[in-house]
Amino acid sequence: MNTTDMNTHPFGYWITAADRLMRAEFATVFADEGITRRDWRMLNRIGGLASRPGSTDRPLKPRRLHRLFEHGWIARTKEGWTLTEAGELAVQRLRTAVDEIRSRVSDALTPEEYEAMTASLEKVAREFGWTEGRRLPRPGGGRPHTAHRRGAHQHGAGRRHGHATHIHIHTHA
């Protein structure tokens, strides 16, 4: 059976719809605190809560920390950046809000549906070249960051039949 017979929109539409709607929810939570999603990631790194392997390897750029510093959520010490008491409270508030958004995904699906969905998405991503540790292409269909640095750019890479291939899967805030 053709899945388009059952749905009015193709697979890519639903991936994009889910991603954009979830991003909007996260953006609202962060905007309410006067920060961005990047600020949230930096806050997690400083608090030792980074969720991506290797995400703490790169040094923090002070210019990206100005909002957190202005909020009084981080302070500079001899060892580097650290969360203040206000920062720890902000992390707790934001973690609760982020967890509530994430729980909406698990509430919408049975455990079996969630497992099947993530396994299926992983298969599709692998079909398009994803491997563990590989950075995803930039939004808009650009090259993966690692390919650019290694000089491995190939004309037409990431394209098939003249259309840009774009799968953007987020597993964390």
| Residue-range domains of the chain with CATH | 9-108 (1.10.10.10), 112-173 (no CATH)
| Residue 64 and residue 37 in contact, taking contact as beta carbons nearer than 8 Å | no
| Residue 48 and residue 67 in contact, taking contact as beta carbons nearer than 8 Å | no
- pTM of the predicted model as reported, rounded to 2 decimal places: 0.66
Least confident of 52-56, 110-114, 118-122: 52-56
Least confident of 7-11, 131-135, 169-173: 169-173
CA 149, CA 99: separation in Å to the nearest integer?
35
- The identity of residue 17, as a single letter, is A
* CA count, 13 A, side-chain hemisphere, 5: 2
| Of 22 and 136, more confident | 22
pLDDT at 122 > cutoff 90: yes
DSSP helix/strand/coil, 30: helix
pLDDT band, residue 82 (cuts 50/70/90): very high
